[in-house]
């Protein structure tokens, strides 16, 4: 198994405030559309992961552990399409989203991970990025995702 903290945490930091909560019309504070598209995409991803052996993966992104969750590589690959659907619901150019991801990057650097700021389109490192030290990355992501998520 490998930690898929970025795959889950970075897109879902934004998604957690969109699913299951009231938001202003047209979008929320982190660039997620308030239509059911974000929630539907996440539910499809969660269902796919459970069908591929991640039995405890929650339907509510707010129930995800702060540092991500363990995803077997096979399940991650099998559900790539569904994860892309989740990522597609995020407006990477939204200033609030960029601010949140910049705070995540700054915190990760403060914990010894050479983590880049998001690009102007909100692009973040891919799911295989670990900064060269998986254990340090996992510990930093657990702490920093909670900080960046404002939880």
Report the 10 Å Cβ neighbour count for 150. Answer: 12
pTM for the whole thing?
0.61
| Mean pLDDT, rounded, for 37-43 | 82
Whether the CB-CB separation of 53 and 75 falls below 8 Å is answered with yes
Whether the CB-CB separation of 124 and 90 falls below 8 Å is answered with no
| Mean pLDDT, rounded, for 10-30 | 40
Question: Confidence class of residue 115 from pLDDT cuts 50, 70 and 90?
Answer: very high
**58-90 residue pLDDT tens:** 888 778 776 667 788 899 889 989 888 887 777
Number of domains in the chain: 1
Top pLDDT among 111 and 100 is at 111
How far is the C-alpha of 13 from the C-alpha of 148, rounded, in Å?
Answer: 8
Whether the CB-CB separation of 124 and 113 falls below 8 Å is answered with no
pLDDT at 84: 83
Question: Confidence class of residue 149 from pLDDT cuts 50, 70 and 90?
Answer: low
- In this predicted structure, the answer to whether residue 109 has a pLDDT above a threshold of 90 is yes
Question: Confidence class of residue 120 from pLDDT cuts 50, 70 and 90?
Answer: confident
Q: What integer best gives the mean pLDDT of the chain? A: 74
Give the residue numbers spanning the domain of 95.
2-149
Top pLDDT among 22 and 99 is at 99
DSSP symbols for the chain:
-EE-HHHHHHHHHHHTTTTTS---TT--TTS--SSTHHHHHHHHHHHHHHHTT-TT--SSGGGS-TT--EE-HHHHHHTHHHHHHHHHTS-TT-HHHHHHHHHHHHHHHHTT---PPPPTT-----TT--TT-HHHHHHHHHHHHHHHHT-
| Mean pLDDT, rounded, for 135-142 | 87
Least confident of 2-6, 39-43, 112-116: 2-6
Whether the CB-CB separation of 90 and 97 falls below 8 Å is answered with yes
- In this predicted structure, the answer to whether residue 118 has a pLDDT above a threshold of 80 is yes
């Amino acid at each position: 198994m490998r930690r898929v903290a970025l795959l889950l945490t970075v897109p879902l930091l934004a998604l957690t405030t969109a699913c299951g909560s009231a938001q202003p019309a047209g979008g929320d504070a982190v660039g997620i559309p308030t239509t059911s598209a974000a929630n539907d995409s996440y539910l499809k991803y969660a269902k796919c992961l459970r069908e591929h052996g991640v039995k405890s993966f929650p339907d509510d992104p707010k129930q995800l552990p702060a540092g991500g969750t363990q995803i077997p590589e096979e399940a991650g690959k099998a559900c790539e399409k569904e994860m892309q659907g989740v990522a597609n619901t995020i407006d990477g150019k939204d200033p609030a989203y960029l601010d949140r991801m910049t705070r995540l990057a700054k915190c990760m650097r403060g914990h010894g991970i050479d983590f880049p700021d998001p690009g102007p389109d909100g692009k973040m490192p891919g799911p295989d990025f670990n900064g060269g030290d998986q254990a340090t990355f996992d510990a930093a992501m657990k702490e920093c995702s909670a900080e960046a998520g404002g939880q």
